[in-house]
Structure 1
Amino acid sequence: MPVSPPTARHVGAGGLLALGALPIAAFAAWGIARLGEVAGHASSPPWAWLVGLALLWWVPLCWFERPIRVPPGARARVGALRVTVQVPVYNEDPRALRACLRSVLTQSRRVDRVRVVDDGSADAVTGRPVSYDAVRREFEAEAATLGIETTWDRTPNRGKRFAQMHALAEDDGDVFLTLDSDSVLDRHAVREGLAPFADPRVQSVAGQVLVLNRGANLLTRLTELTYLPFTCGLRSAQSVLRRVTLNSGALAFYRADVVRRCAGGYENERFGGRPMQMNDDSMLTFHALLAGDTVHQPSAMVFTLVPERFGHYARQQVRWMRGTAVRQLWWLRYMPLTGVVFWATVAEYLHLLLALAVPVVVVVADPARLGPLCLAVAQVGLGMNYLMALRLFTVRRCDESAASRLRAFALAPLAALWRLLVLRPMYVYALLTCRRVNRWGTRGGVEVSLTGAV
């Protein structure tokens, strides 16, 4: 397995970033004030300020996130944790799978066990089983040399959740690491991801997701930028409050007891009378939330492949959005009324409602205000996107130059338009059609290949 995984380093929000954030934040605040003047009574625009609050509450908070370190007195305890990595596979590019598994074996903090579960991969045309024999032989030989226990099972195609939970109920690990087969770990991902477990209250840890094939085309560049408001914005702010609601399936760590307790129910969740296989990551995070604290570790990094064609991208986004819409109903039903998760969910719905209703109200009441209103909204959106794009500079990748980061930063306005014109309508559609839950096995074949990204 000769492929070397990429590496990255978290460098934090230094003084230069803070200096950059101040004028951008002032620009966005000016836009909010302008929004209030245009859309309501200049002296008291309550609904306009509610929009701003729902949209921006997490922006300043996310900058307070720092990597969690192991206290000296807890190093032995964290070092003794037994780690099992579960890698579900379905119609994966063999090169991507090889890079994924090699990144697990070359961790600076060695894992104890790796379970690969092939969820019935099959050729889309012939229906014949897909073979990963060459990858398996290389993987098992290298793991044996390193003294890492491995299993490789092929199961009937039942969905990602069943593949994730295969044999885990009887596994004796202390921490379960879930890893997508199209994702590649940074060399120190496991070491960094285990650090928060020094606190016994922490039940799950989300890794930071980086786009592996970001240079493939404009769509993957935009994907990198549109990930930032969630992965390094909302999730970072939630982590400061220790209430992360959605781990990434690309990389997440769980107390083993959390996963064992939800075995059976997790695989067989239903919504609207139908099996619910999508949004597996939010379901595991939900169980962790019920058990204790959930955090994000920005220094535990994973590189993941993202869609390179719009059709694949749209299917993935709608699937994720539908799953999140379902999970939001769970948060409203089961999270405490006095808790952050409940009210953050209410704020999300309120923001969506106001964002849709305000332009209509303005047009009906005073059509002349629509143009200035759109300009104010654009100003707020531009400021928001540039604030989040600054987070690009908190990570140093071995495969990216400073000039490349600056070019990505310059695309922030295009990402703002993409979010407004493409992702927002998708989200509304997903909310209206969230009963159309579907299985994980949506790929007829390999959709994204690893072509020299690592």
Structure 2
Amino acid sequence: MAPLPRAWHASSPAVIVLGAVPLTAFLAWGVAHVYSTVVTLMGGHEGMVLPWLVSFLLLWWVPLSWLERPRTIPPDEETALGLLKVTVQIPVYNEDPVALRGCLHSLLVQTRPVDRIRVVDDGSVHDDGSPMTYDDVRAELFERAAARGVKVTWDRTPNRGKRHAQMHVLATDDADIFVTLDSDSLLDPEAIAEGLKSFANPKVSSVAGQVIVLNHDANVLTRMINLLYLPFTRGLRSAQSVLGRVTINSGTLAFYRAHIVRDAAGVYEHETFRGRPMQMNDDSMLTFYGLLAGDTVHQPSSLVFTLAPERWSHYQRQQMRWMRGTTLRHLWWLRYMPINGVVFWSTVAEYVHIVLGLAIPASVLADPGLRAHTGTLLLAGVVIGTAMSYLMTLRLFTVHRTDMRLRQLLLLFALAPLASAWRALVLRPMYFYAMATCHRVNRWGTRTSVEVTRTPHQQTA
């Protein structure tokens, strides 16, 4: 097996400090310029300025994300964590055998060994409809796990969806901690050890690992995705973690106190919306249970590589699944989260931000005085948007990785405004469509064939 790529969380590299100061000053100048311009054009009337300023205040998570720090523990707590029984569950469906083998290998070489690995093949099939059995991968796993004293189960079930595959084994497993892991995930060797540290705090019910794109340099789309994931994986989620209120743990790597998942058996896998079975957004539902039980946090030092879509059709389906599922989960948060809590009001804030994003341009176009200066306002908006995009993208430098050269990192950083334009021109319209069609939960399904393969160079340092 080829050497695994490595990644480390970096607290405050010099490039972040050197970049943040001028970008913040640039942003402050842009905000002040637009404020004075709008006030002047409106004859001193601030009715237009107030919602504009509110829209920036709703980006509260951008500065708060910089306060996130990895959880560290003293030796005595580390000893106690070593006694926890940990089960890792991996649902498999039409996965690339090379990717699956890499996932299992990365799990077996963890510095903190797990107690059990429970693979459930959810009825994988080849393109011709014949069973995809992964015989070689399974035999290798059993042999290597036995040598390390790790218990393994590998079941094959009829295709019923990811939630059923998970609960097929987790409903009765007696572990203390459950780890959910996607079959194309590639763990950093310290991922399990770092992820468990947060459970030294008895209030913590769930922990999200930090997700980074493995095939970041495969093509233009994966480079863009590397940037598009950033505001959530190292932005909003980091800010939520500071408050102990992470709303979505990526299924790529997540940790849960096992009793929370066991207690949800029979309900979790049978969730419905408007009478239709809902299998999407399994990760946000498990996190929802965690939110009801305690604190949900992000551990930035528990790093996991994932394969991003390399084709537009795959990416589009992925985004529609996520957007529709998130829209439904918003309804859950507004209904079940405390009205005086962070999750409730951050959800409200997100929708207020969406409304303002539509109302402000509409107001400009509707007012003759402002419409005559559309170019000036648009230019100022581009200046502010560029500064904001670069400030958020500075979080690229919070992770050091062996499979990415500095030249590649700087190129990605330079492309930050393009990612912002993509969000505004492509993802935002898709999100509106997903919101309007969120009831189509039965139109989501697992892939019908292998969609992303892992090449040998993606496994080497």
TM-score normalized with structure 1 length:
0.96
Is 1:80–2:79 an aligned residue pair?
no
Name the SS of the counterpart of 2:142 in structure 1: helix
Deviations 1:229-251 (A, max 9, x none): 11101100010111101111100
Q: Give the match for residue 311 of structure 2.
A: 309
Whole-angstrom CA distance in 2 between matches of 1:201 and 1:438:
36
Q: Is the 8 A contact 2:23 2:387 kept in 1?
A: yes
1:164/1:92 CA distance change after superposition, 3 Å: same
Partners of 1:390 and 1:212 in 2: CA distance: 19
State the number of aligned residues.
451
Measure the CA separation in 2 of the matches of 1:392 and 1:115: 33
Please say if residues 228 and 391 of structure 1, whose CA atoms lie closer than 8 Å, have aligned partners that are also in contact: yes
SS at match of 1:434: coil
Match of 2:227 in 1: 225
The verdict on how the C-alpha distance between 1:34 and 1:276 changes in structure 2, with shifts beyond 3 A counting, is farther
Deviations 1:318-361 (A, max 9, x none): 11011000001111111111111111101100010110121111
Q: Percent of pairs identical after alignment?
A: 61
Residue aligning to 2:24: 25
State the one-letter code of the partner of 1:438: N
Task: Label 1:445 to 1:378 Cα distance change in 2 as closer, same or farther (>3 A).
Answer: same
Question: How well do the aligned residues superpose, as a CA RMSD in angstroms?
Answer: 1.4
Give yes or no for the alignment of 1:370 onto 2:374. yes
Give the 3-state SS of the residue equivalent to 1:267 in structure 2.
helix
Contact kept, 8 Å, 2:321 with 2:444, in 1: the verdict is no
Letter in 1 for 2:102: A
Q: Could you tell me how far 1:381 is from its partner in structure 2?
A: 2.0
- What is the CA–CA distance in structure 2 between the aligned matches of 1:403 and 1:262, rounded to whole Å? 47
Per-residue CA deviations over 1:71-94 (Å, capped at 9, x if unaligned) read 333122111111100000010000
Q: Is the 8 A contact 2:93 2:446 kept in 1?
A: no
Measure, in 2, the Cα distance between the counterparts of 1:114 and 1:203: 21
Equivalence map 1:21-420=2 (5 Å): 21-38=20-37, 41=42, 44=46, 45-54=49-58, 56-124=59-127, 126-366=128-368, 367-420=371-424
Q: Which residue number corresponds to residue 441 of structure 2? A: 437
Assess, with a 3 A threshold, how the Cα gap between structure 1 residues 396 and 233 changes in structure 2: closer, same or farther: same
Note if contact 1:3-1:102 (Cα within 8 Å) is conserved in structure 2: no
Structure 2 gap segments, 5+ residues each: none
Distance 1:339 1:84 in 2: 32
Please list the CA deviations of residues 417-448 of structure 1 after superposition, one character each: whole Å capped at 9, or x if unmatched.
11111111111111111111136633110010
CA distance in structure 2 between the partners assigned to 1:145 and 1:73 by the alignment? 29
Question: What amino acid does structure 2 have at the position aligned with 1:282?
Answer: S
* 1:123 alignment partner AA: H
Residues 184-243 of structure 1: CA distance to partner in whole angstroms, max 9, x if unpaired?
000100000000000000000000000000000011011010111111011000101111
Q: Look up the SS of the partner of 2:207 in the other structure.
A: strand
Q: 1:344 and 1:118, CA in 2 relative to 1: closer, same or farther beyond 3 A? A: same
- Helix, strand or coil at the partner of 2:420: helix
Conservation of the 8 A alpha-carbon contact between 1:6 and 1:399: yes
Amino acid in structure 2 at the alignment position of 1:31: G
Is the alpha carbon distance of 1:43 and 1:364 closer, same or farther for their aligned partners in structure 2, counting shifts above 3 Å? closer
SS of aligned partner of 1:151: strand
From the superposition, tell whether residues 429 and 37 of structure 1 become closer, same or farther in structure 2 (CA, over 3 Å). Answer: farther
- 1:428 is the counterpart of 2:456: no
Counterpart amino acid of 1:413? P
Shift of 1:172: 1.1
CA distance in 2, matches of 1:411, 1:80: 46
- Cα distance in 2, alignment partners of residues 335 and 6 from structure 1: 39
Q: Structure 1: 5+ residue runs without aligned partners?
A: none
Equivalents in 2 of 1:380, 1:327: separation in Å?
31
Q: SS state of the match for residue 384, structure 2?
A: helix
1:119–1:157 contact (8 Å) kept in structure 2: yes
CA pair 300-440 structure 1, distance change in 2 beyond 3 A: farther
Inter-partner Cα distance in structure 2 for 1:38 and 1:159 = 54
Q: Give the aligned partner of residue 447 of structure 1.
A: 451
Measured against aligned partners, the alpha-carbon deviations of 1:36-83 in whole angstroms (never above 9, x if no partner) come to: 4455655632111111111x2111110011110123331221111111
Cα displacement string for residues 13-56 of structure 1 (whole angstroms, at most 9, x for unaligned residues): 235412311221232233333444455655632111111111x2
Q: Is this contact kept in 2: 1:239–1:296, CA < 8 A?
A: yes
The alignment's TM-score, normalised by the length of structure 2, stands at 0.95
